[in-house]
């Protein structure tokens, strides 16, 4: 088994039986292994860049025995209420009758090749060739519980989504429940059998109680822009179920906001995109914020009950953070209070009238008058931002001009960005020839290129697997700088080796450790 770098925080191998091998590796994983994800014929092992040597040695030692003893799979019987009216246009396109479509769909035994797109979504291999059909030209709204097919795949939508798959019917089969263990009844490598459900299905209750229990409220949201959420450092370890690690988009700045208050670096805090919220404090509190050009940014501030904080300065970063001493008291889901916007996990997007409670404050550093923490620094649109990259596995698929443009040309960070990724404007990166990529694991920092040639940099809340060719990966040490960059920032890429990427990660973490030590010396 040959392991290739997937950025500098994961290793990827191409192998048959990837799903069952991934399950076996998870069962025997060492503590340094954060997760193992399979996708069709690829297997990815995730870890902190600092643990690369340990994980690499473990894989070298464990690989042969893993391939010899593959974990057993389970079989799930999924009852489907086939919708004949829904199937009719598909049947016409395939030149089959509706009954033939239903019969063919039930005749196969499917294997869960991967979990991704959203928590609990199973990508299924085994669809009969007679049902191979291209995706829709335009995505449509697909309700939760929909059983669908596209290309050579079958799947089941666990939540309301937009997608280009063709619906066959609906099921009551529960695909994911963050309140119950195991969170998903399926894992990659399991087998699925679809059977007709003759009785009417109960209507799915798609409404959610998205309120955040506040306990003893410490602040209330008076106004809030889109993209204001509660975040921490995320929920690693569930990628194999389709759950992104997520967490703060700019984890460096989030850590600084917490360190200013003596909090643990992963304490829950408020993340905002470009425009900060207006909040009223309901109790006396010590707080800190970063990401806004404001005299109080980067320094602990004391606010009294009844006082209001308004962020009137211009953004110095695409993402800013507001922390309070003790962190916010927010329930955890899968070990994290972070909000996964697409999956609806964790807190939620904060709106006017929401209130948040306060955790137990320990002690706060005391900075002198005018003292501020400026690390990690905020790139401006006027400054050229150079980001180091590792080449992607499909880099050679691109034509010579595109491969040269990756590092010789320059790009602009587009205004089209969110927590999942950001588009780049600049040279079009085109394939040498049209090719289809079987979906494979991705990581934050992956640079995917869709058919338009316009690159997309994946960020904190990106999907767990992707189907676009990957030309490169921004290294972990530089990804926060890209996330902070304001729209319109000029960007250039510089190729580095894996060894250089790992060393850059060590140096960046050492800088953070120095800051943490310095602030701890100021604790009363």
CB under 8 A, 24+ apart: contacts of 45-53: 45/3, 45/10, 45/11, 46/9, 46/10, 46/236, 46/239, 46/443, 47/9, 47/10, 48/9, 49/8, 49/9, 49/476, 49/501, 49/502, 49/505, 49/506, 50/505, 50/506, 50/509, 52/8, 52/502
Q: Report pLDDT for 429.
A: 96
**Residue 203 binned pLDDT confidence (cut-offs 50, 70, 90):** very low
Is pLDDT above 90 for 95? yes
Average pLDDT over every residue of 66-72:
56
**Residue 361 binned pLDDT confidence (cut-offs 50, 70, 90):** confident
Tell how many helices (H) and how many strands (E) occur in the chain: 8, 32
Lowest mean pLDDT among 129-133, 342-346, 363-367: 363-367
If one counts every other C-beta atom within 10 angstroms of the C-beta of residue 87, the result is: 23
Lowest mean pLDDT among 131-140, 313-322, 454-463, 465-474: 131-140
Cβ neighbours of residue 320 closer than 8 Å, sequence gap 6 or more: 253, 271, 272, 274, 276, 289, 290, 291, 292, 311
* H helix runs in 292-413, sequence order: 400-408
Q: Report pLDDT for 209.
A: 41
Q: Report pLDDT for 215.
A: 53
If one counts every other C-beta atom within 10 angstroms of the C-beta of residue 244, the result is: 27
440, 464 contact by CB (below 8 A): no
* Residue of 372, 386, 394, 390 whose CA lies nearest to 493: 386
> In Å, what is the CA distance from 414 to each residue of 111, 411, 483?
39, 9, 12
Cβ neighbours of residue 44 closer than 8 Å, sequence gap 6 or more: 6, 10, 11, 12, 13, 36, 37, 38, 440, 441
Residue 286's Cβ-side half-sphere holds a number of Cα atoms within 13 Å equal to: 20
Q: Is 473 exposed, middle or buried (0-12, 13-18, 19+ CB in 10 A)?
A: buried
Is pLDDT above 60 for 447? yes
Is pLDDT above 60 for 517? yes
473, 445 contact by CB (below 8 A): yes
What CA–CA distance (Å, rounded) separates 35 from 46? 5
Q: Report pLDDT for 211.
A: 44
Helix (H) or strand (E) holding 135, with range, is none
Q: Report pLDDT for 216.
A: 76
523, 363 contact by CB (below 8 A): yes
What CA–CA distance (Å, rounded) separates 41 from 14? 6
Question: To the nearest whole number, what is the mean pLDDT of the chain?
Answer: 88
What CA–CA distance (Å, rounded) separates 480 from 135? 35
What CA–CA distance (Å, rounded) separates 243 from 239? 5
| Torsion over CA: 162, 163, 164, 169 (sign) | negative
What CA–CA distance (Å, rounded) separates 144 from 157? 5
Average pLDDT over every residue of 456-464:
94
Q: Report pLDDT for 102.
A: 95
* Residue of 178, 183, 244, 176 whose CA lies nearest to 34: 244
Rounded to 5 degrees, what angle do the CA atoms 349, 232, 273 make? 45
* Alpha carbon 374 to chain centroid, angstroms: 27
Higher pLDDT, 234 or 17: 234
Q: Report pLDDT for 368.
A: 72
What CA–CA distance (Å, rounded) separates 389 from 492? 10
* Residue of 372, 358, 336, 370 whose CA lies nearest to 263: 358
Is pLDDT above 90 for 59? yes
**Residue 114 binned pLDDT confidence (cut-offs 50, 70, 90):** confident
| pLDDT above 70 as % of the chain | 92
Lowest mean pLDDT among 158-167, 169-178, 206-215, 416-425: 206-215
If one counts every other C-beta atom within 10 angstroms of the C-beta of residue 496, the result is: 19
């Amino acid at each position: 088994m040959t392991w290739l770098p997937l950025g500098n925080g994961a290793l990827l191998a191409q192998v048959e039986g990837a799903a069952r091998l991934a399950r076996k590796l998870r069962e025997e994983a060492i503590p340094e292994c954060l997760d193992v994800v399979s996708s069709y014929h690829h297997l990815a092992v995730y870890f902190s860049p600092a643990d690369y040597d340990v994980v690499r040695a473990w894989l070298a030692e464990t690989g042969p025995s893993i391939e010899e003893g593959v974990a057993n799979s389970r079989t799930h019987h999924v009852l489907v209420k086939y919708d004949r009216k829904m199937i009719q246009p598909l049947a016409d396109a395939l030149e089959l009758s509706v009954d033939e479509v239903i019969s063919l769909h039930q005749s196969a035994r499917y294997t869960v090749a991967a979990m991704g797109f959203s928590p609990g979504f199973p990508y299924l291999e085994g669809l009969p060739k007679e049902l191979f059909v291209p995706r829709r030209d335009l995505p449509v709204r697909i309700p939760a519980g929909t059983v669908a097919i596209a290309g050579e795949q079958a799947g089941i939508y666990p939540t309301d989504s937009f997608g280009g798959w063709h619906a066959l019917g609906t099921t009551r089969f529960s695909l994911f429940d963050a309140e119950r263990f195991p969170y998903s009844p399926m894992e990659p490598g399991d087998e699925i059998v679809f059977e007709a459900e003759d009785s009417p299905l109960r209507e799915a209750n798609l409404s959610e109680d998205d309120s955040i229990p506040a306990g003893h409220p410490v602040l209330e949201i008076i106004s809030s822009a889109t993209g204001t959420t509660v975040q921490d450092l995320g929920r690693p370890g569930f990628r194999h179920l389709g759950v992104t690690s997520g967490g703060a988009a700019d984890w460096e700045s989030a850590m600084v906001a917490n360190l200013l208050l003596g909090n643990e670096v992963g304490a829950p805090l408020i993340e905002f995109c470009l425009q900060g919220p207006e909040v009223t404090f309901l109790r006396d509190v010590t707080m800190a914020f970063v990401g806004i050009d404001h005299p109080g940014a980067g320094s602990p501030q004391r606010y009294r009950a009844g006082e209001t904080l308004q962020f009137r300065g211009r953004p110095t970063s695409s993402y800013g953070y507001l922390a309070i001493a003790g962190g916010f008291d927010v329930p955890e889901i899968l070990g994290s209070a972070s909000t996964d916007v697409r999956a609806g996990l964790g807190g939620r997007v904060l709106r006017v009238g929401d209130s948040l409670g306060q955790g137990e404050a320990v002690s706060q550093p005391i900075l002198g008058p005018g003292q501020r923490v400026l690390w990690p620094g905020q790139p401006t649109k006027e400054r050229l931002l150079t980001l180091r990259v590792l080449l992607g596995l499909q880099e050679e698929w691109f034509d010579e001009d595109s491969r040269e443009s990756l590092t010789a040309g320059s790009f602009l960070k587009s205004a089209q960005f969110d927590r999942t990724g950001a588009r780049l404007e600049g040279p079009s990166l085109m394939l040498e020839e049209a090719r289809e990529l079987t979906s494979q694991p991705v990581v934050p920092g992956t640079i995917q290129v869709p058919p338009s040639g316009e690159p997309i940099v994946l960020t904190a809340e990106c999907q767990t697997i992707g189907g676009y060719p990957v030309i490169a990966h921004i290294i972990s040490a530089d990804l926060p700088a890209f996330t902070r960059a304001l729209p319109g920032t000029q960007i250039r890429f510089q190729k580095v080796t894996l060894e250089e990427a790992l060393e850059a990660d060590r140096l960046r973490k050492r800088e953070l450790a120095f800051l943490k030590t310095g602030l701890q010396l100021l604790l009363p």
